[in-house]
Structure 1
Amino acid sequence: MIIFPLIFLLSFMYSMADIIKGNRQGVLLFFIFGLSIYTTTMSLSFVLGFKFLIPVFQPIKELLVLITLGIGIYQLKEKLKLNVVDYLMGAYFCYTLLYVVIPLGDYGFSDRLSAFKSTSFFPLIYAAGRFVDAGKVNISRYFHYILIVAIAATAVLVYELMSDLHFQTNTGYADYNFYYFGQEPTGNYGLTWTFETETGFRRFASFFSNPLEYAAATLLALAVIAGLYTDDENNLKISAFGQLALVSTFIAIVAALSRAPLVSYFGMIYVYAFITRKSYMLKTFHYGFIAAVLYFIFLIQNEDIYSFVVDTITFQNASSVGHIVEWLAGIDAMIRQPLGLGLGSSGKVAGMLGVNVGGENQFIIIGVQAGVIALVLYLLIHIYLLTYTYKWIKILKGNERKIAIMLFLFKIGSVVPLLTTNFENYSYVIYISWFLSGIFIKSITTQRTAHD
């Protein structure tokens, strides 16, 4: 088990060495190998007697981002050409920073600062990537690393399925969460309710923090496969390694036992077929959908399955009802307080204290805390990134195009998770996607400057 803290530490050291040498993209090595096992590393350090290392390990990810950003600014040799996304990022960061200073709400400065880090650190990750030239990044190398993580995660998942035991049961997950965050074990398996369905079936997280982050990581891996193996003429040529990774993502998403990630997974495949004009994939998808509908018609003759399908469609099952209740509470709070209730009133901080308001939707979490203006800025950031990545897929070549395809598909796949979870808490996918978003915007502003 000590292998996880060792991988965490080594990936940090290698990334730091790369950054010092001037290779700022080296921070991706830690984002990929370190953040995928972040919670496992923390909990194992706790139970293995290395508790003194946890305060050192916890801020490492933010420290690396700040160092990378600082070096990027220091080494800047010409005026940075700004994009709409840059202005939106800056406006969102500065606006929400005001809520740290202003004593709005029931939470103290330290809680507001913690909530700010949870909801507003991503502009700094983006900014760190903004100073990295895509032409100097061996994107194939890092994309392969992401697929290695996906395959390794599925290997752990297979162990969990065969043993019918959560990996987190052996890593001290519950003890770590109780000691540092005051979270009592919940659910039938001594972890949290996230690790099981409403019917009691186990949901596995492999070595990620929880099943929802694992599902998000699987969507990221699928987007990476599409970007990595699609050439400039839209030919899809997947190597044997890529096929293994693809099978791994399918096993993971099926075993997630969650409707939202499954919809996102197949939605990404459909969108990929559409943007790359793969008619055979679209036809297969359509025929498969028709077959699935006919199969469901056959299955709903079973009363239990019929009830499950009807409850899902009509939002009457416990999970869907829970989401709707939280959404309505959050929307009501935004109507009553359009400038927000203050940082900490929704999301991670409030969740730990058991007084969350609208904490099942990333957009509502931001709107409840910092108001409608912050929510609009956050929405515009996502809309512009989606628009730009889709547009520039048709223009860019090589590494830049691979990044554009990957980001576009991942943003599409993130829509449903953003509506149903506190998505910005999933460090692994957040740090990678926002850093690459910065590199992508750097690419298109450089292309525009060259054309001008």
Structure 2
Amino acid sequence: MYATADIFKGNRQGVLLFFIFGLSIYTTTMSLSFVLGFKFLIPVFQPFKELLVLTILGLGIYQMKEKIKLNMVDYLLGGYFFYTLLYVVIPLGDFGLSDRLSAFKSMSFFPLIYASGRLIAAEKVNLGKYFHYILIVAVAATGVLIYELISDQHFQTVTGYADYNFYYFGQEPTGNYGLTWTFETETGFRRFASFFSNPLEYAAATLLALAVIAALYTDDDNNLKISAFGQLALASSFIAIVAALSRAPLASYFAMIYVYAFITSKRNILKTFHYGFIAAVLYFIFLIQNEDIYSFVVDTITFQNASSVGHIIEWLAGIDAMIRQPLGLGLGSSGKVAGMLGLNVGGENQFIIIGVQAGIIALILYLLIHAYLMVYTYKWIKILKGNERKIAIMLFLFKIGSIVPLLTTNFENYSYVIYISWFLSGIFINSITAKSISNG
């Protein structure tokens, strides 16, 4: 309600307040509403984030005073959106219109989030405030995580997570803890999600927080000055990513730090990484003398552990489907909708999920969108100043950190990071397009 009031006062960027504080607790709010007897509120809550985006987009178009100059990213996102929209109309595959619409929203709503930010100038955004809000969420999430670790209990077991998922999505509780398999490793160790929807979204949110820390505390001369609160947020992010018990987010976390050191010429960080790598190799040589550790490492490298095997089987099934049907099997055949119905083909990889549903053309467009955004953000880090540069640093690092999760999860379903990152991507492209015009 606060964010909505802010928007109608003319502060469209105020929606970030809801994206940050509302979407981080979105599933927890739904679950608690269900178990506490406020089930009637859930149909109001569920479409609220999409309605807010459409409202901002509509207001932005209505208030537009001059025609905007389109960027290559605009063309690619528009092409992707309208191309995949055709698959809603065309009755391809075995799914009905409602399932196709649901799959389309899951797979292709992000261009509208981007477009809503595309009509907002960066200088109108109080970036420092919203970046600090993201860090507040990161610190609060780690506080809940510490409680989970001490009590050895998932927060979701007391919020009605399993009951909510079963009632609305028909998902039976799985795993050893009455939630889903995502909440544990293949060896049975608990994986915690704090107040996020699942451990993988929490890991993605942690990567976003790390990107924000790097951007917020780096000035235009690449000096890194982290405040006491920033240090607390950084420590919180490290605790969270270690407790995630997932190799992919942990690798992404350190890759982001390494890339940050490279683009800002932080030689001390680079040297630390290089020496740390050498030490890790020597320690690894010592550790593999233990037969159990040796087997674990070999199984991981050769993709023979249960988690890796599962990914590969899904990838191969998806690639096979794309080879057989280059134009796709139809919306709903992979990803969230198919997963709920137990008919999933080639999930656990965002690229394959798109390719299976809407074919090679949609996949190429999606890849180009990410490639162009990475190129633009990296290029403009060297040119921009102030808040605009901070957005560029944050987006570039987050894109780097997202590469592995995109390969191993249905990444576009993580509302918290998707809404924030695509909205800021729109603001960033608006900024560099305006500067390109002013520079002739």
- The answer to whether the superposition gives a TM-score over 0.5 is yes
Hey, what's the Cα distance between the residues in 2 that align with 1:160 and 1:119?
A: 32
Cross-structure match for 1:436: 424
The code of the aligned residue for 1:184 comes to E
Hey, what's the Cα distance between the residues in 2 that align with 1:414 and 1:158?
A: 25
The code of the aligned residue for 2:126 comes to N
Q: What per-residue deviation string (whole Å, max 9, x for no partner) do you get for residues 309-337 of structure 1?
A: 11001111010010000000000000000
Runs of 4+, deviation exceeding 4 Å = none
Hey, what's the Cα distance between the residues in 1 that align with 2:388 and 2:293?
A: 46
Q: What per-residue deviation string (whole Å, max 9, x for no partner) do you get for residues 62-93 of structure 1?
A: 00000000000000001111000000010000
Q: What per-residue deviation string (whole Å, max 9, x for no partner) do you get for residues 350-371 of structure 1?
A: 0001110010100000000000
Cross-structure match for 2:259: 271
The code of the aligned residue for 1:90 comes to G
Cα deviation for residue 300 of structure 1 reads 1.3
* Mapping for residues 163-312 of structure 1, pairs under 5 Å: 163-312=151-300
* Mapping for residues 55-134 of structure 1, pairs under 5 Å: 55-134=43-122
Determine whether 1:316 maps to 2:343: no
Hey, what's the Cα distance between the residues in 2 that align with 1:192 and 1:118?
A: 20
Q: What per-residue deviation string (whole Å, max 9, x for no partner) do you get for residues 206-241 of structure 1?
A: 000000000000000000000100000000000000
Give 2:344's match in structure 1, choosing from 349, 356, 359.
356
Cross-structure match for 2:405: 417
SS of alignment partner, residue 34 of structure 1 = helix
Cα deviation for residue 268 of structure 1 reads 0.2
Hey, what's the Cα distance between the residues in 1 that align with 2:294 and 2:336?
A: 36
Cross-structure match for 1:328: 316
Cross-structure match for 2:33: 45
Cross-structure match for 1:379: 367
The code of the aligned residue for 1:268 comes to M
- TM-score, structure 2 normalization: 1.00
Hey, what's the Cα distance between the residues in 1 that align with 2:120 and 2:282?
A: 50
- TM-score, structure 1 normalization: 0.97
Give 2:148's match in structure 1, choosing from 153, 160, 164.
160
Identity %: 87
Cα deviation for residue 302 of structure 1 reads 1.1
Hey, what's the Cα distance between the residues in 1 that align with 2:275 and 2:302?
A: 26
Cross-structure match for 2:24: 36
Cross-structure match for 1:9: none
Hey, what's the Cα distance between the residues in 2 that align with 1:437 and 1:267?
A: 21
Q: What per-residue deviation string (whole Å, max 9, x for no partner) do you get for residues 126-176 of structure 1?
A: 000000100010000000000000000000000000000000000000000
SS of alignment partner, residue 171 of structure 1 = coil
Cα deviation for residue 296 of structure 1 reads 1.3
Cα deviation for residue 298 of structure 1 reads 1.2
The code of the aligned residue for 1:385 comes to L
Hey, what's the Cα distance between the residues in 2 that align with 1:70 and 1:265?
A: 37
Hey, what's the Cα distance between the residues in 1 that align with 2:336 and 2:225?
A: 41
The code of the aligned residue for 1:267 comes to A
Unaligned runs of 5+ in 2: none
Cross-structure match for 1:140: 128
Hey, what's the Cα distance between the residues in 2 that align with 1:397 and 1:262?
A: 30
Hey, what's the Cα distance between the residues in 2 that align with 1:29 and 1:390?
A: 27
Tell me the number of residue pairs that the alignment of Structure 1 and Structure 2 aligns.
440
